Structure 1
Amino acid sequence: MPYKSRVYTTLTALSLALPAQAQQDVVTSQADFIKLVSGKTLTRPLVKIQVRPDGSIAGTGAAWDVTGTWSWQGNYFCRDLYWGGDALGYNCQEVRFEGGRIRFTSDKGQGDSAAFRLN
């Protein structure tokens, strides 16, 4: 798989599949989500992203810029993301948190997941 394709897979869930962990707390409010990510950088190998309280997303995935916007709808984090100028599309995601890690699961918790450290 080409390098950019591997990073793309990770960013589409913002998506590497991870085993579910029953002890993770589901984040269901925008206020709780902002408390978790405000002032933090979400990191995983080759990816560093900031999800800002103002609704913007910025960072890098491999050598390419990541930009976008987000909002909270119902119990879900919804984002519209661009990576290296390519649209990754709009998706609403379940958010879980445990011990300094945050996990996004695409398609309202039914799709691929990506976990990040909060630094």
Structure 2
Amino acid sequence: MKLSFASISACVLALATPAFADYEQVTTKADFVALVAGKSLTRPMVKLSVLPNGQISGMGAVWEITGQWQWKGNYLCRSLEWGGDDLGYNCQSVEADGAKMRITSDKGTGQSAEFRLR
């Protein structure tokens, strides 16, 4: 059997690409709290603490971030202020992959942000 260059390239690429775990939906408050307890959610120029008591604090660029959160159904619902500006209330889907978390606004239909859990 003769293999084409494309077939060989695809196999080499598949073997050379590291396997990444899939994100899994977080659907309970207990699971969410277990993920964030004692950790910061970080991304470039953002560092947040999401505390089990419902408080959110941190920095985004050079501005302070404050807010509150609660768990409703399968969603993280939060209100935030960033640098004194009210970012409003939004319920968001949460997915986790070990040391990473993806939060998607509007119950999973809006924009997403990925954070490292450190």
TM over 0.5: yes
Higher relative contact order (CA 8 A, sep 6+): 1
Tell me the equivalent position of 2:110. 111
Distance in structure 1 (CA, Å) of the matches to 2:95 and 2:27 = 9
Which structure would you say has the larger Rg? Answer: 2
Tell me the equivalent position of 1:60. 59
CA deviation digits over 1:20-59, x for unaligned, max 9? x982110000000000001100000000000000000000
5+ residue gaps, structure 2, are 1-19
Distance in structure 2 (CA, Å) of the matches to 1:38 and 1:103 = 16
Give the TM-score of the pair, scaled to structure 2.
0.82
5+ residue gaps, structure 1, are 1-20
CA deviation digits over 1:52-92, x for unaligned, max 9? 00000000000000000000000000000000010000000
* Percent identical residues: 59
Contact 2:69 2:78 in 1 (8 A): yes
Distance in structure 1 (CA, Å) of the matches to 2:97 and 2:31 = 13
Report the count of equivalent residues. 99
Contact 2:33 2:52 in 1 (8 A): yes
